[in-house]
Amino acid sequence: MAANTILVVDDEPGIRLYLKRLLGTDGFTVQTAADGDEALASIEAAPPDLVLLDVMVGGRDGYEICEAIKRDPEKRAIKVCMLSAKSRAIEIEKGMAMGADAYLTKPFSMDELRATVRDLLGRGKGEP
Amino acid sequence: MSERPGSERPRSESTGLRLRFFLFFALIGIGGALAVIGAMVLLARQGEALRLDHFVLFGGAAAAVVLGLATWVWLKFDERVARPLLAVANHLRAAAHARAERAMPAGTARDLGPLGPAVGELTAAMAEARREVDRTIAEATARTEEQRQQLATILRDLQQGVVICNLEHQVLLYNQRALEILHVAGDIGLGRSFFGVVTAQPFRHALVRLANRFSSGRHTDHPDGLACLVIGATKLGNYTLKGRVSLTVGRDPAGPEGERAERPVGYVVIFEDVTDELAAGIWRDRMLHDVTSDMRQRIANLGMIGDLLTLGEPIDADELAAAREAFLADGRILAERLDRLDEISSDLLSSAWPMTQVHSKTLLDLIVDRRSEGRNLAVETGGDLVWLHCDSASVVDLVDRLLNRTAVHAGITTFSLAVTRNERRAYLDLAWVGAPVPVRELEAWLEERLDEGLGAITGRDVLNRHKTDLWCEPAGDGGARLRLPLTTVAIDTNRSRGAVRLESRPEFYDFDLFGRSVPADLGEAPLRALTFVVFDTETTGLEPSGGDKIVQLAGVRIVNGRLLRGEVFNSLVHPGRPIPSVAAKVHGITDAMVATADPIGAVLPRFHRFVGDAVLVAHNAAFDMKFLTLEQDATGVVFTNPVLDTVLLGAAVFGAEESLTLDTLAERFDIRIASEERHTALGDALATGHTLLKLLDLLEAAGVRTLKQAFEASEQQAAIRRAQGKY
């Protein structure tokens, strides 16, 4: 079984590096994008299994990218997990209403991230 | 009218005139008799033909006839001239001073020849002249009254409390809101001290500052003029008040014409209750302090752990695990603190924006009414009925904008608008059949400026102020909806916090109190300047000492010669015993009506507060006072106020032999009390109050002008009545 592909969309280079290293270590194929346009181009070129999407990403609104994925019948199956420094209940609700499959507020721990990713990709613990 | 000492005049006049007539006739009778006897004696000395015993017999008989004739004529004279003259005098006096211009009872001046008709013509002419004057005055005051009413309406609708005082801090005016904010149930009272309801010190301090500013002339270029901010507290409940005190300046009426200097005459206080605001501010300050207190420490911890991990020194697994644990914990705590800060700053932002409670149906109706841009959009409304906490004007504008933009974007003319709620919040949903609006489009709309009437704010600003957001999502079969979350609120309809709501009446005004001050010696105070509480009781019977009790207690206030219908005390009292049917027939108060009434122990302290330091007045006051003093031990409420009795004052004016029942006096003074109000405590208190005002006119004309003189006049009448066994 081929390794799942994860696209990390965040304008913070530190976060991109961290997630790439962490998830790479866990056996995922990790792509990164620094802004919305890059992200959409990447999805178009090679649709990933999961997008880790920062809400406040440069170029385009994270909600807009989520909308582009979830309202396109061909891409709808791609899982989306929103990452945000916004932690108010209404923002989380808005993210879920826009079609996100999960919402993680920053800061989150390695364990929380791993659990969420596994959950979304339907993989058991310890299995890459 | 002669200027004899006033308090003696009514008595000496009523008895003196008749006494003088009597002495006059007695002189005629005795003089005549003496003349006859003298003539007889002279005759006896000149002719011996007449016998002495005949002299005595005829002389004595002649003298007796003369005396008898004089007595008979005097009696007739007293009956037909002296008494009618007094009646005419009383009638004229009532007409002159108390404006009771009724016709004289028929037959009063029957034997006074043309005097009767002349008096009739005089009173009629006087009445006509007065009506003319009244008409002129009425026309002249109509406009003033209208303006006064407008002012009353404005004051009533103000959200701030307004109190106007003179320099003695006596309240001259207040509005309904002031009562609510001060948490008084009508006790403030015109003419009473403002410092009875608020703590004095902050206001005194402000007034001293303003007086200094005025006397030094600095107020002319001071940015606040003759006003300054004051933070005070109510005496009841210690609520915090924030307001402005403004000094009122007027011309000194005592100064010489043309040189009248301006001087402070009073002040205006406009205030609001900031207890909740203040508490919220204190809470926010404390929260900010708690939240930020150890953030620096947490950041230092993170920095040190980072340094440790990047040192390159060997580190064992346990140390690494501990460092990682500490790192995560500090990061989490910092994030929590930041969330709290975010909440507090949102609170600050939204508290600066006026939010009100709006009913969901009202909000939806407003949006439908608002439909701008003339697109003829059909909007159907529905959903849950719920109270929302928002600034309806900006929400209406925002939704209207979204409605128009969506209509153009999606080419749609039919929408449905509904509010739905879950356990956390409500959602205002604008739905249509068609595709959802893309995020990018929606974001662009939210960056547009809304109606200029709201200032330069965007849709995004409105969302931020409401601590909310907005999104568009697919809904149902081929439909979409814009969803705006809003805060719901449980409505507190009891805004007055238990204070009794009074009817707003224009009698709350009394600007004549400006410039008035109560002299230190109450006895020397002019009767007109006194505050009276005229009261009446209804009871279970006429024997206070025999166990009869009060079933109703009512009082009205008279301030500066005006009866204030807006300041009335009226309370049923549970007598603690059955009301005999004979008493119930008189006043119409039954056991059922007092079943839920407070006992006297609860009513009397309230009445005591209502009375304050006013002069108590009642018709046959001794009776009512007896009931009050008998409750003294049980209630601990003692009335030490001066007391006046309208029966005694009436006797001082009209003479003790006149009928002085409340009905007679009211009829004499042309005072009309609705029949259903008669023999109720309030109706009788009102009738007595109006009677007192008329009596004050007559007493003044008779030279009784001070409280002391009124007491003296009452005392004389009480002495007469005691002697007659009537009292």
The domain limits of chain B are: 6-128, 158-253+262-273, 279-351, 356-488, 518-724
Q: What is the pLDDT of residue A31?
A: 94
**β-strand A102-105 against B240-251: which pairing, if any?**
unpaired
Q: What percent of chain A has pLDDT over 70?
A: 91
Cα–Cα separations (whole angstroms), residue B316 to A22, B306, B438: 21, 16, 53
Q: How far is B514 from chain A, CA to nearest CA, in Å?
A: 58
Mean local confidence (pLDDT), B650-676: 79
Q: How far is B282 from chain A, CA to nearest CA, in Å?
A: 24
Q: Residue A108 is encoded by which pair of tokens?
A: 């989150």
Q: What do you get for the CA distance between the two ends of chain B, in Å?
A: 32
> Between A87, A97, A107, which is nearest B473 by CB?
A97
Mean local confidence (pLDDT), A45-61: 86
Does residue B480 carry a pLDDT above 90? yes
- pLDDT-derived band of residue A66, with 50, 70 and 90 as boundaries? very high
Q: What amino acid is encoded at B553 in this protein? A: L
Q: How many C-beta atoms lie closer than 10 Å to residue A25's C-beta?
A: 10
Q: What is the pLDDT of residue B327?
A: 86
Question: In whole angstroms, what is the distance from residue B573 CA to residue B548 CA?
Answer: 13
- pLDDT-derived band of residue A110, with 50, 70 and 90 as boundaries? confident
Q: What percent of chain B has pLDDT over 90?
A: 18
Q: Residue B278 is encoded by which pair of tokens?
A: 């203040």
The SS3 of residue B553 is strand
Does residue B505 carry a pLDDT above 60? no
- pLDDT-derived band of residue B403, with 50, 70 and 90 as boundaries? very high
Question: In whole angstroms, what is the distance from residue A18 CA to residue A25 CA?
Answer: 11
Taking alpha carbons only, the member of B233, B231, B226, B181 closest to residue B207 is: B226
Does residue B298 carry a pLDDT above 70? yes
Question: In whole angstroms, what is the distance from residue B710 CA to residue B536 CA?
Answer: 20
Say if the Cβ atoms of B328 and A109 lie within 8 Å.
yes
Cα–Cα separations (whole angstroms), residue B398 to B74, B366, B461, B462, B558: 100, 12, 10, 8, 55
What's the CATH superfamily of B518-724? Ribonuclease H-like superfamily/Ribonuclease H (3.30.420.10)
- The answer to whether the beta carbons of residues B512 and B560 sit under 8 Å apart is yes
Q: What percent of chain B has pLDDT over 70?
A: 87
User: Same CATH topology for B158-253+262-273 and B356-488?
Assistant: no
Q: What is the pLDDT of residue B260?
A: 59
Query: DSSP character for B434?
Result: S
Q: How far is B469 from chain A, CA to nearest CA, in Å?
A: 7
Mean local confidence (pLDDT), B417-443: 92
Say if the Cβ atoms of B439 and A90 lie within 8 Å.
no
Does residue A124 carry a pLDDT above 70? no
For the stretch B43-58, pLDDT in tens is 777 766 666 677 677 7
- The answer to whether the beta carbons of residues B188 and B207 sit under 8 Å apart is no
Question: In whole angstroms, what is the distance from residue B462 CA to residue B400 CA?
Answer: 13
- pLDDT-derived band of residue A8, with 50, 70 and 90 as boundaries? very high
A106 interaction partners in chain B (CB closer than 8 Å): 335
Q: What is the pLDDT of residue B406?
A: 95
Mean local confidence (pLDDT), B503-511: 35
Q: What is the pLDDT of residue B492?
A: 44
Question: In whole angstroms, what is the distance from residue B628 CA to residue B633 CA?
Answer: 10
Q: What is the pLDDT of residue A2?
A: 66
Does residue B535 carry a pLDDT above 90? yes
- Quote the Cα angle for B646-B652-B656, to 5°: 95
Residue recorded with tokens 């005459």? B265
The SS3 of residue B68 is helix
Mean local confidence (pLDDT), B614-638: 86
Does residue B424 carry a pLDDT above 70? yes
* Low-confidence winner among B167-181, B330-344, B486-500, B521-535 (lowest mean pLDDT): B486-500
Mean local confidence (pLDDT), B639-662: 84
Element (H, E) at B62: helix B52-77
Q: Please tell me which residue, B512 or B593, carries the higher pLDDT value.
A: B593
Q: Please tell me which residue, B254 or A107, carries the higher pLDDT value.
A: A107
Does residue A55 carry a pLDDT above 80? yes
Domains, chain A, with CATH or none: 5-121 (3.40.50.2300)
Q: How many C-beta atoms lie closer than 10 Å to residue B354's C-beta?
A: 11
Domain at B158-253+262-273: CATH architecture: 2-Layer Sandwich (3.30)
Mean local confidence (pLDDT), B199-218: 90
For the stretch B236-256, pLDDT in tens is 777 888 999 999 988 766 555
DSSP string, A87-110: --HHHHHHHHHTT-SEEEESS--H
Q: Residue B419 is encoded by which pair of tokens?
A: 């509010």
Instruction: Tell me the pLDDT of chain B averaged across its residues.
Output: 81
Question: In whole angstroms, what is the distance from residue B70 CA to residue B25 CA?
Answer: 6
- pLDDT-derived band of residue B414, with 50, 70 and 90 as boundaries? very high
Return the residue of B nearest to A108 by Cα.
Answer: B332
For the stretch B306-340, pLDDT in tens is 888 887 778 888 888 888 888 888 888 888 888 88
Taking alpha carbons only, the member of B80, B74, B75 closest to residue B108 is: B80
Cα–Cα separations (whole angstroms), residue B395 to B357, B384, B400, B489: 13, 18, 8, 16
List strand residue ranges (DSSP E) for B436-504, in order: 471-475, 479-488
Cα–Cα separations (whole angstroms), residue A22 to A51, A114, B317, B328: 15, 9, 19, 16
Q: What is the pLDDT of residue B625?
A: 85
Q: What is the pLDDT of residue B51?
A: 67
B422 touches chain A (CB under 8 A): no
- The answer to whether the beta carbons of residues B536 and B554 sit under 8 Å apart is yes
Omega within 30 of 0 (cis) for the link into A107: yes
Does residue B632 carry a pLDDT above 50? yes
Taking alpha carbons only, the member of B375, B381, B378 closest to residue B361 is: B381
Query: DSSP character for B490?
Result: -
Query: DSSP character for B100?
Result: -
**β-strand B562-572 against B550-559: which pairing, if any?**
antiparallel
B447 touches chain A (CB under 8 A): no
For the stretch B73-110, pLDDT in tens is 888 888 888 888 888 888 888 877 777 667 777 777 77
Q: With the CA atoms of B690, B692, B693 and B699 taken in that order, what torsion angle do they form, in degrees rounded to the nearest 10?
A: 150
Mean local confidence (pLDDT), B463-479: 89
Say if the Cβ atoms of A93 and B436 lie within 8 Å.
no
Q: How many C-beta atoms lie closer than 10 Å to residue B363's C-beta?
A: 23
CATH level 3 topology of B356-488 = Heat Shock Protein 90 (3.30.565)
> Between A67, A71, A87, which is nearest B339 by CB?
A87
Mean local confidence (pLDDT), B135-146: 82
Mean local confidence (pLDDT), A7-35: 91
- The answer to whether the beta carbons of residues B420 and B384 sit under 8 Å apart is yes
Does residue B10 carry a pLDDT above 50? no
Helices and strands (DSSP H and E) totals, chain A: 5, 5
Residue recorded with tokens 């969901």? B360
Q: What is the pLDDT of residue B110?
A: 76
Mean local confidence (pLDDT), B570-587: 87
> Chains A, B: CB contacts under 8 A, how many?
40
> What b/e string do you get for B503-538 counting C-beta neighbours within 10 Å, with b at 16 or more?
ebeebbbbeebbebeeeeeeeebebbbbbbbbbbbb
Say if the Cβ atoms of B436 and A71 lie within 8 Å.
yes
Q: Sign of dihedral through CA atoms B715, B719, B722, B724?
A: negative
Interface test with A, best of B328, B423, B437, B439 (most A CBs within 10 A): B439
Question: In whole angstroms, what is the distance from residue B217 CA to residue B88 CA?
Answer: 62
- Quote the Cα angle for B493-B497-B500, to 5°: 100
> Between B438, B439, B469, which is nearest A90 by CB?
B469
Mean local confidence (pLDDT), B578-585: 84
* Low-confidence winner among B7-11, B120-124, B404-408, B477-481 (lowest mean pLDDT): B7-11
- Quote the Cα angle for B709-B530-B682, to 5°: 105
The SS3 of residue B221 is coil
Instruction: Count Cα atoms within 13 angstroms, Cβ side, for B157.
Output: 5
Does residue B517 carry a pLDDT above 60? no
Q: Please tell me which residue, A116 or B70, carries the higher pLDDT value.
A: A116
